[in-house]
């Protein structure tokens, strides 16, 4: 059984003016997501700026999320690292904190071989009992999982259950599904490819868009699963301009900017991520307004 089916939000980590984690705001954002139909919270992923959280902050943010969600929907904790031992440490801590599953990105910078990736994921999986979703995003990590490696891990390691596919290649998704069939839980890692990936057998999306349009992102999935493929397709296409604007600079700069423009007061990004260029912020404002989102 999949950890979740539908739209999981890759939730941002809100900061105070002094760039400390704003836990009250995090709880507020979580409630808003659940109230709007979001199917899972993905905490401490790329969008959550996990790379600039200390290990102590990382674990505390997961703990705070699990505590506040209180079983209403699943919580999937990002626990990947370019060091296998660190990924094991974070994964075990997330399990102890009560997470329902783990999202483990490929080890960035090291550029591991496929053999090394198999060993990396197998060692993490053997250290915990939680189900694991691999995260394939080679544009950010410089390290990609091949369909054959994904299939090997899913078919041979009991608690490696799926993959967040953000390679951008529909051909890769089709090959993964051909190799794994119904043995894999595959999630879109790109908001502009939700419907095509659902059509190939995907279970949903781990979404940046859901931070600003949680109900609509949930509905793209719900409509598809309910057989309203045309309604799902229309929602997907209606949100394309906003999806593109949310990635006009590196994630999560635009999505945090969007939430601040909406009056959510989620704070800035930690360096080296910086404020948006003025022309890109104007593009984002236009896309938000065209999507029917009121600005503060």
pLDDT tens readout for residues 5-53: 999 999 999 999 999 999 999 999 999 999 999 999 999 999 999 999 9
Taking alpha carbons only, the member of 66, 72, 20, 6 closest to residue 226 is 6
Residue 1 pLDDT > 90: no
Residues identified as active-site: 135, 164
Q: Do the domain assignments include residue 252?
A: no
Query: Looking at residue 140, which CATH number applies to its domain?
Result: 3.20.20.70
Q: Do the domain assignments include residue 286?
A: no
Q: How far apart are CA 51 and CA 42, in angstroms?
A: 15
The structural domain count of the chain equals 1
Q: Do the domain assignments include residue 128?
A: yes
Indicate the pTM of the whole model: 0.97
Taking alpha carbons only, the member of 180, 277, 148, 214 closest to residue 12 is 214
- Please state the rounded mean pLDDT for residues 185-207: 98
The count of other CB atoms within 10 Å of the CB of residue 52 is 16
Query: What domain range is 86 assigned to?
Result: 6-228
Q: Do the domain assignments include residue 73?
A: yes
Tokens 């990105």, located at residue: 105
Tokens 């401490």, located at residue: 44
Q: Do the domain assignments include residue 11?
A: yes
Tokens 């949930």, located at residue: 218
pLDDT tens-digit series, residues 232-284: 999 999 999 999 999 999 999 999 999 999 999 999 999 999 999 999 999 99
Q: Do the domain assignments include residue 147?
A: yes
Q: Do the domain assignments include residue 19?
A: yes
């Amino acid at each position: 059984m999949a950890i979740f089916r539908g739209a999981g939000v890759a939730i941002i980590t809100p900061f105070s003016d002094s760039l400390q984690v704003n836990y009250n705001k995090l709880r507020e954002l979580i409630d808003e997501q659940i109230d709007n139909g979001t199917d899972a919270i993905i905490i401490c992923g790329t969008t959550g700026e996990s790379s600039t959280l200390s290990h102590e902050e990382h674990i505390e943010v997961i703990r705070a999320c699990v505590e506040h969600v209180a079983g209403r929907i699943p919580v999937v904790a990002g626990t990947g690292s370019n060091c296998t031992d660190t990924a094991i440490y974070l994964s075990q801590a997330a399990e102890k904190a009560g997470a329902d599953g783990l999202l483990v990105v490929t080890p960035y910078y090291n550029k591991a071989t496929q053999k090394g990736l198999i060993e990396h994921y197998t060692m993490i999986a053997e250290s915990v009992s939680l189900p694991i979703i691999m995260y394939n995003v080679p544009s950010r990590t410089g390290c990609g999982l091949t369909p054959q490696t994904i299939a090997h891990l899913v078919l041979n390691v009991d608690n490696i259950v799926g993959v967040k596919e953000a390679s951008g290649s529909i051909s890769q998704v089709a090959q993964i599904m051909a190799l794994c069939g119904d043995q894999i839980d595959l999630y879109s890692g790109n908001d502009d490819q939700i419907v095509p990936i659902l059509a190939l057998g995907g279970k949903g999306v781990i979404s940046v868009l859901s931070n600003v349009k949680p109900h609509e992102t949930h509905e793209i999935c719900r409509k598809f699963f309910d057989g309203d493929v045309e309604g799902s397709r229309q929602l997907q296409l209606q949100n394309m301009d906003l999806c593109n604007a949310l990635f006009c600079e590196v994630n999560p700069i635009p999505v945090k900017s969007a939430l601040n423009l909406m009056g959510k007061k989620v704070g800035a990004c930690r360096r080296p991520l910086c404020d948006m260029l003025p022309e890109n912020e104007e593009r984002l404002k236009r896309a938000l307004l065209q999507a029917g989102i009121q600005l503060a």
